[in-house]
Amino acid sequence: MEQQQPERREGRSFPERKGQKRKLEEGAAAAAEDREISASTTTDGGGDAILNEIAAQVSVLNSAFSWQESDRAAAKRATQVLAELAKNEDLVNVIVDGGAVPALMTHLQAPPYIDGDLAQKPFEHEVEKGSAFALGLLAIKPEYQKLIVDKGALPHLVNLLKRSKDGSTSRAVNSVIRRAADAITNLAHENSSIKTRVRLEGGIPPLVDLLEFSDSKVQRAAAGALRTLAFKNDDNKNQIVDCSALPTLILMLGSEDAAIHYEAVGVIGNLVHSSPNIKKEVLSAGALQPVIGLLSSCCPESQREAALLLGQFASTDSDCKVHIVQRGAVRPLIEMLQSPDVQLKEMSAFALGRLAQDSHNQAGIAHSGGLGPLLKLLDSRNGSLQHNAAFALYGLADNEDNVSDFIRVGGIQKLQDGEFIVQATKDCVSKTLKRLEEKIHGRVLRHLLYLMRISEKSIQRRVALALAHLWLELLLGLLGSTNTKQQLDGAAALYKLANKSMALSPVEAAPPSPTQRVYLGEQYVNSATLSDVTFLVEGRRFYAHRICLLASSDAFRAMFDGGYREKDARDIEIPNIKWEVFELMMRFIYTGSVDITIEISQDLLRAADQYLLEGLKRLCEYTIAQDITLENIGGMYDLSEAFHAMSLRQACILFILEHFDKLSTMHGQNQLVQRTIPEIREYFCRALTKSTTNLQGLRLFSRLDASSGNYPLCNAISDLFTITLLMADTLDSRPHTFSIKLWPPSLPTRQALIERMTNNLSSKTIFTDKFGSLTKDQAMENAKRIEDVAFSTANLQFEREPDGDGGSAVQLYAKECSKMILEVLKKGPVCKAEQVSSASPCKETVFDISKDKRAFIEAEEAEELLKPLKEPGNVYTKICFSNRSFGLGAARVAEPILASLKDQLKVVDLSDFVAGRPEVEALEVMNIFSSALDGSVLSSLNLSDNALGEKGVRAFGTLLKSLSSLEELYLMNDGISKEAAQAVSELIPSTEKLRVLHFHNNMTGDEGAVAISEVVKRSPLLENFRCSSTRVGEGGGIALSEALENCTLMEKLDLRDNMFGTEAGVSLSKTLSRFEHLAEVYLSYLNLEDEGAIAIANALKDSAAPIEVLEMAGNDITVEAASAIAACVAAKQDLNKLNLSENELKDEGCVQIAKSVEEEHLKLQYIDMSNNYIRRAGARALAQVVIKKEGFKLLNIDGNIISEEGIEEVKEILKKTPEVLGALDENDPDGEEEEDDEEDEEKEGEGNDELESKLKKLEVNEDD
């Protein structure tokens, strides 16, 4: 079992600049060093003014490259103005497009001296500093990073790092060095090729030297740059270590400056990440104690990094784990578990989890108070935090000395009752419980029994319940054994336990009526007195009274008060119930009691279920239970499932346990026993927990070896088990109710209900006589839909308001089914002509003001602009207000207009409709629009590009709450944080009809993804889901994957640009296998790696999905996963576009992919294999395949290492369709010569031929 390691990030600012994801150091503080820039530069004059300003400053830089004081002053100011503008990320594109990069590049170096220049150097270092600062701010996109580096910035920046070599240590020198280091950090951020180029330009040695610089800000900037350069780049790591950086970094760990020791521990963390040899060097250099010291730092960022680093150290060997504990790390780590900082808790749980896997540390961690805080973290809704806590507890459970402490603090109940987000955590918890179970014997058991005698009552109860749960699984294991003797012993013990734990058997007395009601009385049964309705039963009249029937059940309320013909009918025929059955049913309705004989009980049960008379059902169940025999037990159990008769099912279970010895000898009855084991487990779990806890959390997953013979005597087990249970009862002053769980119904029960509804909809009844019968197929289709919706409704209600045994959920389930059956019956059968007619949508009339130039709208403009919406008789069903910014006055003009249209509107697009408005005004505008549209029946709502956040979502709360028929919802680029996502989940009441849900480009994160997953769970019809670029990590990825299991109609899935990781990828693969309609799959940049990619490829290959687009770019996929991906691709003949760029498939993987599409694949038009380290052989293989594809449009193999000869060969192959081949500007032909073997260098041509020969023999196995 593996622990989830918190993801190490390559660099974070201190503090981090919001929204930029680059390390920019204290821009506001640094600005104080520079001359103040006029605010009018960035605020006045609108877009044209800014464009003119940029052009002016670029022109200055292009013309002022000299030592003349006026030129230097002008250049300095120009760099400052551009830097100030670049702080606004929305202006970066404009600045770059305006030619600022080459102009700034020129001023990274001092101008040359010419005759006539003054001896002094005006503004020495300051212009270069301003240029470096501005370029660093511009490097926020990969394409801009590349542009700046390609223009030659790195050599100049490296030279700036060396400005102190001449002995100058002025403030200006310090500032230019610091800005150069920051610029290198930003250029190399998440860009592996630039990291390498910094090393090749000689940037690492001067950065290491600067770690000892006298200025602390320079130290910090240098450490930040090294931190970024070391992340996932082994060559850079090695050079940093070779330059003797470790001693200085370790000294920096002890700095009193929090910013310095934060950067230092970050550098060390990135150096040791996935580098065991460097990890050993770091430990040998004496880093362990200073890192432990940082756990007590006043800086939470340093604490987090230190805890993460200790967790990495702990993976080295057992001795290191022990040394970490011996040197005092445990207590501060446990204190961190109780911090309000979620990341701090996660890192400390991670470190403790690693330490707890060593037997020498387990007792010490528990003795220091670690158990309680770790158990508390299981309640977290953060999947990663929850898993790390569970992993630590798994380690602690391995020590016998900790078992009693686990039970004493309620750990068993916490593990059993917890709601765990990801499957890995659930597996970890089950293994922890298994460990604890295995250790409860000998001295541990004696100690627990001692605690039951001497401890306070709360601890006695915990011990008793823990023992009872553990032995319950043992007895159930015996019941499922293949050994007959063990089965008999287990059944006898369970039956004995059931008798001792109940003062009264649930079927020893007839149940009372479930609701208190006033009855008309016996004298009105079948009495014509005051009768206002007559039933015709078997040709005889039965007089009744509507008021009595309306009060009795939902079925009669629907019949007489639901718009059906019975509402006004005098005579109603009952075609499918016998007279004596109907009379007894009516007698119960009028009196509340009735005598039921065995002979009539089953027919009466069927009638009571049909008319939703729960009290009569229970009386029937009681009577039927008296007639259970060995011969009919199977039929009785089936009857209980068919009519969801829970009391009867409970009686069947007790009968099976009591007569197990006889049943086991009867033909076919063993299968019945195996069917009832899950029900038996839940029966006893309810008795033990006496709570509303979800019983799925009570599994211990014991694996009993029936052949081992290592069982204690069953009688002893039963006695001890019963003692513990009864002792638990005596310690609980609450009344003891012993019943089984009613919700959720089993799959056989749900299927039986569907079959019964199908029969009711298609056979002769009072309703089908009036409205017509459905065909068998129509009835089955409607029955499945009714059951699914009713189950979802009841289950959602149960999850929100658990009611113990689930009785209210069962009633709601039955009520919803009854209501929808009547609705379907009232509509009657649908003819083909009507189906065709209903399938033709009405033509929409669209009102769209988004196409003109973007503008602010005030009241007068709104009056004119919205005038068409006020015209009488208009039939607008779609409005689009996007690209227009509504002020408060305009919103008030729109309010009555929208209110007048809300009954006809179906589609509303309010994207980007408050741009540039102050927050207070924008929120008020949103409130006005929300109130105006409240109650509309929208099928589509677009609120994208409004920077909603939580406040904005709640501003639209009135509208969102009223939407019950929503089919499309767009919340893209809305700043949807965790809190906003939770608000979305809370405010939208129903997503049962939702087909499209888009959450692209938000700040959702893991916890927000968990909230969104709740929306997804409630959307069974979802077919288009986009949650790309939402900062979702592993925990959130797993939550989304599990939620998507319900969305079996999915056609388009876009999860790009998140950090799912391998485990979330594997979880997603299980979901993808369920999608039969999936056509487009976008899974690029998810950090899947080989394991996740293989799992997903295998799942898609085996599914029936007609995949047309498959994107898995940027996932660190290597040759190892190529065969699985190739097999998947080969199986998908509808494939139109394949994108596997930015991986490491190389020639071998490339040839496998090429072979997979060689045959058929007639629809294939696009293949992107760029940046995959492909050489000549792989490129040739792809070209030879695509030339055969008629209609093929684009092959992208740029960014590889194809030789010039290889390029020419590919062009020759594609000479008839040269437009098919994409650009090759980024190809590096020199890479062709970099062979590891010297002999290959001497015989390049021969080596390539040999490689090609091997690659051609590769086959794609579709069964991989």
Cα(202)–Cα(163) distance, integer angstroms: 15
> Three-state SS string across 747-793, please?
HHHHHHHHHHHHHHHHCCCHHHHHHCCCCHHHHHHHHHHHHHHHHHH
The predicted structure's pLDDT at residue 1145: 92
The predicted structure's pLDDT at residue 548: 87
The predicted structure's pLDDT at residue 31: 39
The predicted structure's pLDDT at residue 1041: 93
Sequential DSSP letters for 884-948: EEE-HHHHHHHHHHHHHHTTT--EEE-TT-STT--HHHHHHHHHHHHHHHTT---SEEE--SS--
CATH 1.10.10.10 fits 15-242, yes or no: no
DSSP assigned state of 1108? -
Closest to 413 measured CA to CA, from 468, 474, 473: 468
The predicted structure's pLDDT at residue 115: 62
Tens digit of pLDDT for each residue in 51-90? Answer: 999 999 999 999 999 888 889 999 999 999 999 999 888 8
Extract the residue ranges of the chain whose pLDDT is less than 50: 12-45, 503-516, 690-740, 831-844, 1232-1264
Closest to 422 measured CA to CA, from 390, 400, 397, 465: 390
Residue with tokens 């749980």: 349
Q: Do domains 15-242 and 244-329 have the same CATH topology?
A: yes
- CA torsion sign for 36, 39, 40, 41 is positive
- Domain 1060-1075+1083-1104+1111-1264 CATH class label: alpha beta
The predicted structure's pLDDT at residue 668: 65
The first and second tokens of residue 441, run together, are 């014997």
Specify the 3-state DSSP secondary structure of 1081.
strand
The predicted structure's pLDDT at residue 493: 66
The predicted structure's pLDDT at residue 869: 86
C-alpha dist (Å) from residue 729 to 415, 458, 464, 475, 683:
21, 12, 9, 20, 16
Domain ranges of the chain: 15-242, 244-329, 451-506+647-741, 508-625, 747-829, 1060-1075+1083-1104+1111-1264
Instruction: Count other C-beta atoms under 10 Å from residue 116's C-beta.
Output: 8
Residue 87, Ramachandran bin (φ over 0: left; ψ between -120 and 50: alpha; else beta):
alpha
Instruction: Count other C-beta atoms under 10 Å from residue 663's C-beta.
Output: 20
543 sits in which H/E element = strand 540-544
| Whether 986 contacts 960, CB under 8 Å | no
Partners of 535 in the beta sheet? 542, 572
E strands, 992-1149, in order: 996-998, 1024-1026, 1052-1054, 1080-1082, 1109-1111, 1137-1139
pTM here is 0.47
> Three-state SS string across 614-631, please?
HHHHHHHHHHHHCCCCCC
> How many helices (H) does the chain have, and how many strands (E)?
62, 18
Cα(763)–Cα(775) distance, integer angstroms: 9
Cα(749)–Cα(747) distance, integer angstroms: 5
C-alpha dist (Å) from residue 818 to 387, 515, 807, 822, 827:
43, 19, 17, 6, 15
The predicted structure's pLDDT at residue 166: 60
Partners of 534 in the beta sheet? 543, 571
The first and second tokens of residue 720, run together, are 């001890």
Cα(1236)–Cα(163) distance, integer angstroms: 39
Fold of 508-625: Potassium Channel Kv1.1; Chain A (3.30.710)
* CA 134-140-143 angle, 5° bins: 105
| Whether 1164 contacts 1192, CB under 8 Å | yes
The first and second tokens of residue 98, run together, are 């305006």
What radius of gyration, in Å, describes the C-alpha atoms of the chain? 37
CATH 1.10.246.200 fits 747-829, yes or no: yes
CATH architecture of 244-329: Alpha Horseshoe (1.25)
The first and second tokens of residue 83, run together, are 């830097």
Please provide residue 878's backbone torsions phi and psi, each rounded to the nearest 5 degrees. -135, 130
